[in-house]
Amino acid sequence: MKLLLISAITISVVTIAYVMTPSKSTSNMTPKQKILKAMYPFIMKMGSKKTKTMTEENIQNTTVDFYSLKIELNDGSEFPFSKLKDKKILLVNTASNCGFTRQYEGLETLYQQQKEHLIIIGFPANDFGKQEPGTDSEIASFCKKNYGVSFLIAKKGSVIKSANQQLVYKWLTDKKQNGWNEETPSWNFCKYIINEKGKLTHFFPSAIDPLGAEMQKALGL
C-alpha to C-alpha distance for 111 and 87, rounded to whole angstroms = 12
pLDDT digits (tens, 9 = 90+) for 75-127: 999 999 999 999 999 999 999 999 999 999 999 999 999 999 999 999 999 99
> 9 to each of 2, 16, 31, 36, 57, how far by Cα in Å?
11, 11, 19, 16, 48
Q: What is the mean pLDDT of residues 159-173?
A: 97
Longest dimension (CA), the chain: 57
Helices assigned H by DSSP within the chain: 2-20, 31-46, 103-114, 136-147, 167-172, 175-178, 213-218
C-alpha to C-alpha distance for 85 and 167, rounded to whole angstroms = 18
pLDDT digits (tens, 9 = 90+) for 127-141: 999 999 999 999 999
Q: What is the mean pLDDT of residues 198-209?
A: 97
pLDDT at 17 over 60: no
- CB distance 92 to 120 below 8 Å: yes
pLDDT at 213 over 70: yes
- Of the candidates 69, 90, 98, 200, the residue annotated as catalytic is 98
Q: What is the pLDDT of residue 27?
A: 61
* Mean residue pLDDT across the chain: 89
Domain ranges in the chain are: 2-46, 52-218
Is 143 catalytic? The answer is: no
What is the CATH superfamily name and number for domain 52-218? Glutaredoxin (3.40.30.10)
pTM of the model: 0.85
DSSP assignment letter at 195: -
